[in-house]
Amino acid sequence: VDVEHVSGRDVGRTEHTEFTRGADGSERLAVSVRRRNDYDIVLRAGLAAQAGEVLGPLAARLGCPGACIVTDDVVAALHLPSVEAALAVAGVPVTSVVLSGGEANKDLHTLSELWAQFQMRGVRRRTLVVALGGGVVSDVAGFAAATYMRGLPHAVMPTTLLCQADAGIGGKIGIDHLGTKNLLGGFHQPRVVLVDPTLLVTLPVQQLREGYAEVVKVAMLGHPNYYGALRAAGPALLDPVHQDMTAIVRAAIARKIELLTADPYETVSLDRALNLGHCFGHAVESASEYSLGHGSCVAIGMALAAALGVERGTTSPERACDLVGLLDLLGLPVRLDPALVGPTWWALEHIRAVRNGPLRPVIPVAPGQWVIGDDVTRGEWEALARRCVIDEYTSTAW
């Protein structure tokens, strides 16, 4: 049985359609549902205003009757008209849904509103959903695309550094629920990701910082030259007009994809190098009741992971200090509010329970080198907290 989907890319082949009888008397038919989810990431300064050049041919190839852009109120005011115009020029009928932005809206209510908008606007089985925004929009729009009418094709146009370097690629989608971040979600690979670094010029500096946490993370997991270039640029990185953002984003994406493709659906292991900063970071995020941004929590998480490396003797104090210093130069937090020390430990206990197993923090050793560490004991946590809490931190504490 051959199944060729409209894209011509999803091909399942079940070799035999007869049941075979096993020794235990049961009959068995092996069903193949292999699915190819390959996609391109297209990177070009100015691409958003010329998005039709990519999305027009894609819509034609997929047989899309039109596109539905999903964005948030802030991005809509800045960038929606040019993307709508670009699609119109390419002859793609377009409708746009503008959501309220921010993490607080990454929930079931927003998702339900989006499904209702899809229905009101006549979104059909093959309408191309275009997620135009940061990680919140790409998570919610991707979720809606994955679930509406059993799945619509979608494209991502990330507008924050965090989304260009991380959230917009990899196909992970999710919403927060019952007070737990990303409790509901899955994988729905985009058909294409369009990255335009010039969109970052309108980003508030704090949002740029949040994105650099993920950029520093992949740099720490990448070639020492990439990390070294970030270290040399320092605070100048926060000026997207004069920085070569294309080079920064290109290197971050390439490294993320390199680390991702061995296990894109996290089926082999949950212990991924890309989780650097996220073991402690997620706990800090939940302990702070999401008052701290995702990137800020990842930065604190990396500082804690580096401190753990020093405690365990896997990371030299100089290396740990260098990483923490880079995050600090970018204006990212590297210290834990003393009020969060207890709640972060409880959050770690909760994560341990959800994983049904030990924590496996990724410990940075040097650029391009890391170890997946053993679980953290209460005593170690207290030592880390001493190194990393506000007021007590000085570079000599390392």
Task: Report the DSSP beta bridge partners of residue 371.
Answer: 363
Site for ligand NAD (CB under 6 A): which residue of 103, 113, 266, 337?
103
Residues of this chain, 78-97, that bind ligand NAD according to CB under 6 A? 78
Our CB check for ligand NAD shows the closer of 295 and 309 to be 295
Site for ligand NAD (CB under 6 A): which residue of 170, 197, 281, 301?
170
135 makes contact with ligand NAD (CB under 6 A) = yes
DSSP string, 93-157: -EEEEEE--SGGGSSHHHHHHHHHHHHHTT--TTPEEEEEESHHHHHHHHHHHHHGGG---EEEE
CA 198 → CA 156, 242, 247, 279, distances in Å? 16, 11, 12, 32
- E-strand stretches of the chain: 2-4, 11-13, 20-21, 27-28, 40-43, 67-72, 94-99, 128-133, 154-158, 172-177, 180-187, 192-195, 362-366, 369-372
Nearest distance, CB of residue 134 and ligand NAD, angstroms: 2
Site for ligand NAD (CB under 6 A): which residue of 70, 75, 157, 276?
75
Q: Are 130 and 214 in contact (CB under 8 A)?
A: no
255 makes contact with ligand NAD (CB under 6 A) = no
Please tell me the count of residues contacting ligand NAD according to CB under 6 A.
29
Instruction: Tell me the residue nearest to ligand NAD as measured from the CB.
Output: 135
Our CB check for ligand NAD shows the closer of 53 and 107 to be 107
Nearest distance, CB of residue 67 and ligand NAD, angstroms: 19
163 makes contact with ligand NAD (CB under 6 A) = yes
Site for ligand NAD (CB under 6 A): which residue of 202, 246, 316, 369?
202
136 makes contact with ligand NAD (CB under 6 A) = yes
Closest CA to 311 of 390, 220, 385, 218: 385
Chain-centre distance for alpha carbon 229: 23
Nearest distance, CB of residue 272 and ligand NAD, angstroms: 12
167 makes contact with ligand NAD (CB under 6 A) = yes
Site for ligand NAD (CB under 6 A): which residue of 114, 203, 251, 273?
203
Site for ligand NAD (CB under 6 A): which residue of 207, 286, 296, 344?
207
137 makes contact with ligand NAD (CB under 6 A) = yes
| Three-state SS at 338 | helix
162 makes contact with ligand NAD (CB under 6 A) = yes
Site for ligand NAD (CB under 6 A): which residue of 47, 69, 84, 166?
166
Chain-centre distance for alpha carbon 94: 26
Q: Are 334 and 299 in contact (CB under 8 A)?
A: yes
Nearest distance, CB of residue 107 and ligand NAD, angstroms: 11
Our CB check for ligand NAD shows the closer of 286 and 315 to be 286
Our CB check for ligand NAD shows the closer of 159 and 315 to be 159
Residue with tokens 């079931």: 108
* Token pair for 286: 């939940």
Our CB check for ligand NAD shows the closer of 72 and 311 to be 72
Our CB check for ligand NAD shows the closer of 141 and 334 to be 141
Burial code of 134-152, b = ≥16 C-beta within 10 A, e = fewer?
Answer: bbbbbbbbbbbbbbbeeeb
Sign of the CA dihedral with 163 first, then 167, 170, and 171 last: negative
**Cα 350 to Cα 181: distance, rounded to the nearest angstrom:** 13
69 makes contact with ligand NAD (CB under 6 A) = no
DSSP, res 374? P
**Cα 283 to Cα 343: distance, rounded to the nearest angstrom:** 8
* Token pair for 339: 């009020």
Our CB check for ligand NAD shows the closer of 163 and 341 to be 163
72 makes contact with ligand NAD (CB under 6 A) = yes
Which residues make up the interface to ligand NAD (CB under 6 A)?
A: 72, 74-75, 78, 101-103, 106, 133-137, 139, 159-160, 162-163, 166-167, 170, 172, 182, 199, 202-203, 207, 210, 294
